[in-house]
Amino acid sequence: MLIAQDVRRSGTVSGGCLEAAVAKKAWWLTSDGPVVERYSTLDDDGDLPYGSGCGGVVYILLERRQTAAPLLQALYAAFEARVPLAIATVLEGPRIGRRAFASALTRDSVAPLLDEDRAQGDLALLAAQALENRSPQDTTIDIDSAPTRVWVDYRTARPGLWIFGAGDDAKPLLNLARELGWFVAIADGRSHLATRARFAKADEVHAFDIRELPSAAPPALDLHPTDVAVLITHSFEQDSRILAWLLGGGRTLAYIGVLGPQRRTREAITEAARLLQHVPSAKLIDQWLEDLHAPTGLDLGADTPASIALSILSEVQKVLSASTALPLRNVRAPRDAAAHA
């Protein structure tokens, strides 16, 4: 959460119960540098509760721009490049707020310190390990001969959504993904549809020669391994050539979805195999079909462009987060009951 000196704020640190309390004293509390402040939301905790329905204790690192600037710069760079970022942050002691970063862009971009600084090297190692393991860690290391708590955060890459198809049904899909903060690109072989005027909210809009696929593709179609591709072209030729390019070049994506009946997708895969000069055997077709989400989306009873977009992005979110998509009452209620047993 960013807080201005006049207490204006952007972002959140809770479900809405703590923000005002945090902003009220953040500037005063950080007068001597970064500090970890304790906030209680428990009625029986002895502190002034802030009305949270869930209850609990939250510890928040408060700091001013002087120490937070490298973090903001690293987050922005990783966000724009759509790459994961690991951050090791000291949470106590005289070095509180010091950090090391690891990403595909940089391994250590903290405020300048001496190369022989052992503590900084240890932080950089923790960040590199978190990036490799793709998981956060709450740990303690020796800094200046004292056990010191360090939080190692892992931020996944910003989701990138490639919408192949520039029809009207691409618009609600684009709008919803942008509301989620995703990178969104529109790509279509029909130049009269794939225009910036029709998709002003998109990060990128590409009109390409479909005949170039699958043997080649415009360099501008820069898909990352963490990206998502959804085919809604309503064109059998486009779907076949795009699928041949996506499936036949050893390209790995986090999710590939195809709109329409699975029977049609099977036929498009069969044609894709022919375009790649493969023998379209049943084994190959079944293997490729297994790699796809076809039909794309969850069963939400969707029957309008907007509800279909919700269905598609719901399944994408499920896959990216490796979650169940079950009702929360079926997931959390048994866990809460077990905790109170």
Task: Tell me the chain's radius of gyration from C-alpha atoms.
Answer: 24
**Measured CA distances, 292 to 177, 228, 302 (Å):** 20, 11, 20
Biggest CA-to-CA distance, the chain:
72
Strand order across the 99-103 sheet? 99-103, 85-90, 146-155, 137-143
Give how far Cα 177 sits from Cα of 50, 183, 260, Å.
Answer: 33, 8, 20
Number of other CB atoms surrounding residue 69 within 10 Å: 12
Burial of 166 (0-12, 13-18, 19+ CB in 10 A): buried
Query: Above 90 in pLDDT, residue 158?
Result: yes
Distance CA(200)–CA(194), nearest Å, equals 11
Distance separating alpha carbons of residues 162 and 208, to the nearest angstrom: 14
Q: What is the pLDDT of residue 72?
A: 94
**294-316 per-position pLDDT tens digit:** 999 999 999 999 999 999 999 99
Angle between helices 282-291 and 262-275 (to 10 degrees): 120
pTM: 0.85
Task: Identify the pLDDT of residue 215.
Answer: 85
Using one digit for the tens of pLDDT, what is the confidence trace for 174-197? 999 999 999 999 999 999 999 999
